[in-house]
Amino acid sequence: MKATFVPGDWEVGIRIWVERAGKAILGKGRAELLEGIAATRSISAAARRMGMSYRQAWLLVQGMNEGAGEPLVRTATGGRHGGGAELTLLGTWALSLFRGLDEELRQEARTALPRVAHGTGNESVHVAAAVSTEAVLGELLADFAEQRPDVRVRVVYGASDELAEQLLHGAPADLFITAATDPLERLREAGVVDTASPAVLAENTLAAITGAGQRVPVRHGAELACPEVMRIALPAATTPLGRYTREYLDELGLAPALLPRAVEVDSSRAVLATVRAGHATVGLVYGSDATAALGCRVLFRARPPRPIQFTGAVLQLGHQPALARTLLAFLRSPSAGARYRRCGFLPVGSKRTG
């Protein structure tokens, strides 16, 4: 009798941890504790949220600090339980690293299960994708694997401009997914893109976010310049999101007032981490990243002057052009559109409302 694998009936569970010199630094529980500390600025409050004792949480914090070789959590003296607490820059970075690693490994596990179950996986499509699509693309590729378990998809995530530069220098890829048109135009001019293939997959918004416990009197863009916004986290101007945010601030005439207050970081995720850690009052991120951002809340959403569009294109030098076109067609399908919406993206061509 042949065993039957039913997609969606079986799942893969994985447990990961990060260690240094043989000492554990981060795992699932420790990451949840760090997120709680970032949100509440208190070890005791974070412990209560997790249903653990203060002593247990304190020992975990000590273990993380010692394992990392320098503090991930900084505490202030005073109060019954030692005063307040906050993540250091290293702690914010380590938490973001762990969450990204966890999601990537889980996505790989989800797509591996149907391939292994069917004894397939000889054909691979290589995708270079904007890091801002990582969460939704992970879910989409799990959907695609159920339809095409014979196709293995490998994804390299990065900044759209950096990925385009790598592709121009011969990095192997069959499909490119970009968060901006400029990198795609560079590839098109160099003859790297199949000119018939580029397709807009989804659109996005900007979102202004603040810490979950912050009370900031900001409900629309014009209020970003209020005195209560002492520091604003912005993605670097060299990134697509950085260009979108600066065009938005220029349109409002706020760039001169806000840029001197800016904390410039390298991505939408880094903006979230900076705000979550309390190093900025407000931040501007992709609306899709703000949808399920733990420890933050959305103040408002807005559209920059140029539509934020995510585009996919088959590459001329890829080894699997036919499979790349098949994958791109799936990423444009109605079922994919529903997935984009659930992950905080917008339908292609949606009207500007704010």
Tell whether 90 and 162 lie within a shared domain.
no
Tell me the C-alpha distance between 199 and 172, whole Å. 20
Residue 151 lies in a domain: yes
Task: Residue 85: give the domain boundaries.
Answer: 18-96
Tell me the C-alpha distance between 91 and 85, whole Å. 12
Residue 69, C-beta contacts closer than 8 angstroms, at least 6 positions apart: 20
Tell whether 289 and 320 lie within a shared domain.
no
Tell whether 197 and 141 lie within a shared domain.
yes
Tell whether 134 and 155 lie within a shared domain.
yes
pLDDT in tens, 140-165: 999 999 888 888 899 999 889 999 99
Tell me the C-alpha distance between 219 and 100, whole Å. 30
Least confident of 14-23, 36-45, 63-72: 14-23
Tell whether 79 and 58 lie within a shared domain.
yes
Tell whether 226 and 296 lie within a shared domain.
yes
Neighbours of 216 (CB within 10 A): 19
Q: What is the pLDDT of residue 267?
A: 86
Tell whether 144 and 188 lie within a shared domain.
yes
Tell whether 77 and 223 lie within a shared domain.
no
Residue 33 token pair? 């504790």
CATH number (domain holding residue 236): 3.40.190.10
User: Domain tally for the chain?
Assistant: 3
Domain boundary among 96, 111, 131: 96
Residue 104 lies in a domain: no
Residue 224 token pair? 């970003």
Q: What is the pLDDT of residue 7?
A: 55
Least confident of 17-21, 86-90, 274-278: 17-21
Residue 338 lies in a domain: yes
Residue 127 lies in a domain: yes
Q: 174 pLDDT exceeds 90? A: yes
Neighbours of 349 (CB within 10 A): 9
pLDDT in tens, 87-123: 998 999 889 888 888 888 887 777 766 656 554 445 7
User: Are the beta carbons of 218 and 224 closer than 8 angstroms?
Assistant: yes
Residue 170 lies in a domain: yes
Least confident of 7-16, 85-94, 273-282: 7-16
In the numeric block, the tokens 């996505």 are attached to: 107
**pLDDT > 70 fraction of the chain, expressed in percent and rounded:** 90
Tell whether 236 and 279 lie within a shared domain.
yes
Q: 5 pLDDT exceeds 80? A: no
Segment 65-75 mean pLDDT: 90
pLDDT in tens, 218-231: 999 999 999 999 99
Q: Label each residue of the chain as H, E or C.
A: CCCCCCCCCCCCCCCCCEEECCEEEECHHHHHHHHHHHHHCCHHHHHHHHCCCHHHHHHHHHHHHHHHCCCCEEECCCCCCCCCEEECHHHHHHHHHHHHHHHHHHHHHHHHHHHHHCCCCCEEEEEEEEHHHHHHHHHHHHHHHHHCCCEEEEEEEECHHHHHHHHHCCCCCCEEEECCHHHHHHHHHCCCECCCCCEEEEEECEEEEEECCCCCCCCCHHHHHCCCCCCEEEECCCCHHHHHHHHHHHHHCCHHHHHHHEEEECCHHHHHHHHHCCCCCEEEEEHHHHCCCCCEEEEEEECCCCCEEEEEEEECCCCCHHHHHHHHHHHCCHHHHHHHHHCCCECCCCCCCC
pLDDT in tens, 282-293: 999 999 988 877
Tell whether 38 and 151 lie within a shared domain.
no
Tell whether 316 and 287 lie within a shared domain.
no
Tell whether 218 and 288 lie within a shared domain.
yes
Tell me the C-alpha distance between 220 and 105, whole Å. 38
Residue 42 lies in a domain: yes
> How would you classify the pairing of strands 206-211 and 282-286?
antiparallel
Q: Which of 158, 155, 162, 167 shows the shortest CA–CA distance to 191?
A: 167
Sign of the torsion formed by the C-alpha atoms of 82, 88, 94 and 96: positive
Residue 148 lies in a domain: yes
Domain boundary among 81, 96, 111: 96
Residue 267 lies in a domain: yes
Q: What is the pLDDT of residue 213?
A: 83
